[in-house]
Amino acid sequence: MRIQHTTQNLNSCKNISYGGIPNARNIISNVAQDGKPLKGLEKFYQSEGLKKFLTSKGFDKLLDLSVKNPVILTSVYSLFLCTLLRPATIMALPGKNVDDKKYASAHSIASGVIGLAVTAAILTPVGQRVKRVFKNPAKYLKPETVKRMFPNVATKEVEKDGQKVMEIVTHDGKMLQTQEFENMRNAEIAELKKKGIYDKLNPLQKENLQDREVPYLCMSNEPIIHNGQPLRSAFFKKANGEACALQSNGTPVLDSMKVSERQNENAEKILKMVPDLLVAAPRAAITVATIPFILTKVFGIKKPVKDPKPEEIKEVSFNSNQAGLQSFDYTELFPGLKKEVQ
């Protein structure tokens, strides 16, 4: 009887992963305590405007970009901040020296444009190559590393040149035993009881839990394939982003898999974002070098001829700092700045 239930429920999980289940929404709001609307914002959460925004293609693209290449997302967003919002605010703020404001704005525009250009040129390929390794780890990594990163990958020992070595094997999804699956279900119910959530569920939801109809809206990540065969199953995720109880093959997700999944997510983020740190200093240098060009092209300030006295340079440097220039001495690149300002 139990197996029958299990089979039915696995089929439910199949549906859940791609199409959702009819009562998933209600269950989510009960199970996920964090989902309760904040006080005073109930109307906002129900508003048509928010619905339109959340169902727009643009918002979906933004979320996709944040997964695929977070550095590009930051750069595009920074481009908006640095080329529009920040210069507009700086120019609108009260202040005596209009030219200082122009320099601050030029710095802002330069940092936004150079930031996106460097990211697009250098960091997009970085994101692509990281993605390639994570999509097909067995092609690029040693079997031991693949096993460590994905504990649900099956391995076997084979003899090569008289030595025993690990080899990755693809599988048909039969990896974990029913007993483990049962234990997982009981542990989940116990946890819901401990958190006081179980008592708040309606009888149907409790029945679903007992019958192992997955009480979550589950979504799958993409599975990992090697030579056209499954290397490991896909993970399902709960509405709060945590790993769900089942893999796409219906077997449970164990703690070791959850930990390695988090480690893999962090590794992917680090590999995609750390190169951005490495180019931070050269990017800042290029940004500063671009400022004179922007001053000329955008604000119409022409390059001055005469070198200023040292004390005059110093004064401009402090003024620039007050206007939001992060105190960089622009006179280094723009000799004669003071004279031009006057």
Partner 1 sequence: MNISPVNMTNNIQMNKETSFNGLASAAAKGGKVAEVYDGLIEKAARKMVAPVLENSKFTQFLEKTANITDMPNHLSTLGAAATSGFYVRSTLKNDKLQKQERKTLALNQALVFVVSTLGAYFANDKIGKFVDNVRYKYIEYNQHNPKLGSRITGFKTASGLMVFALMYRYISPVVVTPIASAISKSVREHKAAKKAAQANNVA
Sign of the dihedral through C-alpha 214, 32, 27, 211: positive
Please say which residue, 62 or 190, places its beta carbon nearer to partner 1: 62
Please say which residue, 155 or 177, places its beta carbon nearer to partner 1: 177
CA 109 to chain centre: 26
Site size for partner 1 (CB under 8 A) = 129
The Cα–Cα gap between 11 and 18 comes to 11
For residue 115, give the nearest of 65, 168, 78 by alpha carbon: 78
- Regarding 257 and contact with partner 1 (CB under 8 A), the answer is no
Supply the minimum distance, in Å, between the C-beta of residue 136 and partner 1.
7
Residue 236, strand partner residues = 220
Q: Which of 31, 176, 192, 201 binds partner 1 (CB under 8 A)?
A: 176
Q: Which of residues 68-107 bind partner 1 (CB under 8 A)?
A: 70, 73-74, 77-78, 81-82, 85-86, 89-90, 93, 104
Q: Which of residues 109-128 bind partner 1 (CB under 8 A)?
A: 111-112, 125-126, 128
Please say which residue, 203 or 323, places its beta carbon nearer to partner 1: 323
Stretch that binds partner 1, among 32-40, 159-167, 202-210, 290-298 (CB under 8 A): 32-40
* Interaction mask 196-235, partner 1, x per CB under 8 A: ---------------------xxxxxxxxx--xxx--xx-
Please say which residue, 10 or 189, places its beta carbon nearer to partner 1: 10
Burial of 38 (0-12, 13-18, 19+ CB in 10 A): exposed
Q: What secondary structure does DSSP assign to 264-329, as a single string?
A: HHHHHHHHHHHHHHHTHHHHHHHHHHHHHHHHHHTT-PPPP-SPPPHHHHHHHHHHHHHTTSTT--
Stretch that binds partner 1, among 153-161, 198-206, 278-286, 292-300 (CB under 8 A): 278-286
Supply the minimum distance, in Å, between the C-beta of residue 160 and partner 1.
19
The Cα–Cα gap between 19 and 17 comes to 6
The Cα–Cα gap between 28 and 46 comes to 17
Stretch that binds partner 1, among 27-35, 186-194, 195-203, 289-297 (CB under 8 A): 27-35
